[in-house]
Amino acid sequence: MSRAKISIIGAGNVGASVAFKLAELELGDIVLVDIIEGMPQGKALDLLEMGPISGYDLKIVGTNSYDETEGSDIVVITSGIPRKPGMSRDDLLSTNAKIVKEVTERVVAKSPDSILILVTNPLDAMVYVAYKVSGFPKERVMGMAGVLDSARFRTFIAMELGVSVENIHAFVLGGHGDDMVPLARYTTVAGVPITELLPKEKIDALIQRTRDGGAEIVKLLKTGSAFYAPAASTVEMVESILKDKKKILPCCVLANGEFGIKDTFVGLPVKLGRKGVEGIFEIKLTPEELDALHSSANHVRELCKRVHELGVL
């Protein structure tokens, strides 16, 4: 059986960290693409030289062209400029929309049967751009956001309660921005909802920290944005697809009537398997939660409208 082929467009911190984790899990052969000459080649060689120590046997290639990506099963797109302190994810819209459009065109020409996973911010609008440009069915275009936001929520809850993060399950839906929707009722510690374990004001503070999770790191780093946790979140999605695990993960996908949202890319609970998005898991939401989700979806629609106004699509 031949190995899967995974191409990563953008070999910066996020892309290289994705490659590192994919290699360690031996999920498939890896192609790292970047416009900077020598950089993806150097990182690929470094990862190859880690193989004898970590115990993986893979083909890992770094390149400045898209030829090597031909026939990819999955393409992870991380290309774009990162946030700087004081910037919101939305501030990146114009530059990154143009980059994602060009990258998608080039990827699709070489791998027309691939599954696209977007990581570039502002995430939901970039998934929309890739979907429109690729012409792929909605099952094969998605964005990584909810897995990361849920991981951040779980981290902060574990810190607050002094328990293992492994005991905590969390759901964060909606757009990957300031109006994301962490669902406290569906967030549990060893099966017990956190609403039973923490007072409302403490939960509200943890939700706010989750919403600000990316900005908190940007502020501390001063010269870039988060990459380890975004990379690990992306790899969890890749693994669920390639191993046909059918994990339920919060991902940015095209809603087509689910939760009363139509024709909008937004974070929802998704079953991820070999075909990509194999179903949207419709959980019951309270009117308040549904309102928050709709408000988040409206914000995404506004961003997508701006993409058209900017003449990118």
Whether 242 contacts 28, CB under 8 Å:
yes
Q: Please indicate, yes or no, whether residues 299 and 285 belong to a single structural domain of this protein.
A: yes
Q: Are residues 171 and 295 in the same domain?
A: yes
Shared-domain flag, residues 155 and 304: yes
Does 211 lie in the same domain as 81? no
Cα–Cα distance measured from residue 17 to residue 39, given in angstroms and rounded to the nearest whole number: 14
User: Tens of pLDDT along the chain (313 residues)?
Assistant: 689 999 999 999 999 999 999 999 999 999 999 999 999 999 999 999 999 999 999 999 999 999 999 999 999 999 998 877 887 777 889 999 999 999 999 999 999 999 999 999 999 999 999 999 999 999 999 999 999 999 999 999 999 999 999 999 998 999 998 899 999 999 999 999 999 999 999 999 999 999 999 999 999 999 889 999 999 999 999 999 999 999 999 999 999 999 999 999 999 999 999 999 999 999 999 999 999 999 999 999 999 999 999 999 9
| Domain endpoint, select from 119, 143, 167 | 143
Residues 6+ apart with CB under 8 A from 59: 3, 29, 30
Are both 159 and 305 inside the same structural domain?
yes
Q: Are residue 116 and residue 172 in the same domain, yes or no?
A: no
Q: What CATH number does the domain containing 302 carry?
A: 3.90.110.10
Residues 112 and 172 reside in one and the same domain:
no
What pLDDT sits at residue 87? 77
Check residue 137 and give its pLDDT. 98
Are residues 177 and 220 both part of a single domain? yes
17 and 134 part of one domain:
yes
Same domain, 36 and 171: no
Last residue of a domain, one of 143, 161, 192: 143
Query: For the domain that residue 134 is a member of, what is the CATH number?
Result: 3.40.50.720
CB-based contacts of 245: which residues, under 8 Å, 6+ apart?
239, 272, 273
Place of tokens 């695990």: 245
Specify the amino acid at residue 114: S
What confidence score (pLDDT) does residue 189 get? 98
Instruction: List the domain range (segments joined by +) for residue 247.
Output: 146-309
Residues 101 and 213 in one domain: no
Q: Do 156 and 130 belong to one domain?
A: no
From 126, 143, 160, the end of a domain falls on 143
The count of structural domains within the chain is 2
Where in the sequence numbering do the catalytic residues fall?
176
